[in-house]
């Protein structure tokens, strides 16, 4: 069985788009980055890809913690996206700095470091994108 998610995307002019998650009705907006004639007033499409990686990593860790019967707490991820400067425009590197609560045990940290490799976004990214996971 395939999970189907529908996202309606519309170009709204001046390099802006909006997207609606049909099931929930949640909307988000994009703008082109300044180096591509936009105003950077919102996420760019590649920013959303970087955001997807950061939130996926946190979600996968949350699922693992829940299944283990412990709280993940206030974990966070800061994603730094670097674009190529030459050749076709694409994401060159995604650096994800993952911070765990101070009360995370060594055993929990080992579990979390293992499960992030099952993040569907990470698994689906092109291998030409370098992904650096930094644990703090």
Task: Give the pLDDT confidence score for residue 1 in this predicted structure.
Answer: 63
Task: Give the pLDDT confidence score for residue 115 in this predicted structure.
Answer: 96
Task: Give the pLDDT confidence score for residue 44 in this predicted structure.
Answer: 96
Task: Give the pLDDT confidence score for residue 32 in this predicted structure.
Answer: 95
- Domain hosting residue 33, numbered range: 1-43
Task: Give the pLDDT confidence score for residue 105 in this predicted structure.
Answer: 95
Task: Give the pLDDT confidence score for residue 22 in this predicted structure.
Answer: 97
Asked if residue 96 lies in contact with residue 77, where contact means CB atoms within 8 angstroms, the answer is yes
DSSP assignment of 45-112 equals: HHHHHHHHHHHHHHHHHHHHHHHHT----S-EEEEEEEE-SSSS--EEEEEEEEE--TT--HHHHHHH
Task: Give the pLDDT confidence score for residue 98 in this predicted structure.
Answer: 98
List, for the chain, all residue ranges whose pLDDT scores fall below the cut of 50.
Answer: none
36 shares its domain with 97: no
88 shares its domain with 104: yes
Domain count, the chain: 2
31 shares its domain with 92: no
35 shares its domain with 74: no
5 shares its domain with 69: no
Asked if residue 31 lies in contact with residue 40, where contact means CB atoms within 8 angstroms, the answer is yes
CATH number at residue 80: 3.30.300.20
Give the C-alpha separation, 110 to 9, whole Å.
39
102 shares its domain with 60: yes
Task: Give the pLDDT confidence score for residue 87 in this predicted structure.
Answer: 85
């Amino acid at each position: 069985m395939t999970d189907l998610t529908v996202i309606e995307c519309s170009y709204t002019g001046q390099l802006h788009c909006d997207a609606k998650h049909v099931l929930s009705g949640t909307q988000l907006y994009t703008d082109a980055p300044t180096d591509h004639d936009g105003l950077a007033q919102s996420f760019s499409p590649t920013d959303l890809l970087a955001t997807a990686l950061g939130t996926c990593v946190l979600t996968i860790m949350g699922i693992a913690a829940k299944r283990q019967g412990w709280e993940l707490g206030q974990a966070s991820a800061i994603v730094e996206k670097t674009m190529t400067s030459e050749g076709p425009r694409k994401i060159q590197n995604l650096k994800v700095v993952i911070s765990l609560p101070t009360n995370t045990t060594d055993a929990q940290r080992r579990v979390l470091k293992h499960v992030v490799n099952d993040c569907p976004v990470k698994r689906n990214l092109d291998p030409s994108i370098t992904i650096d996971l930094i644990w703090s």
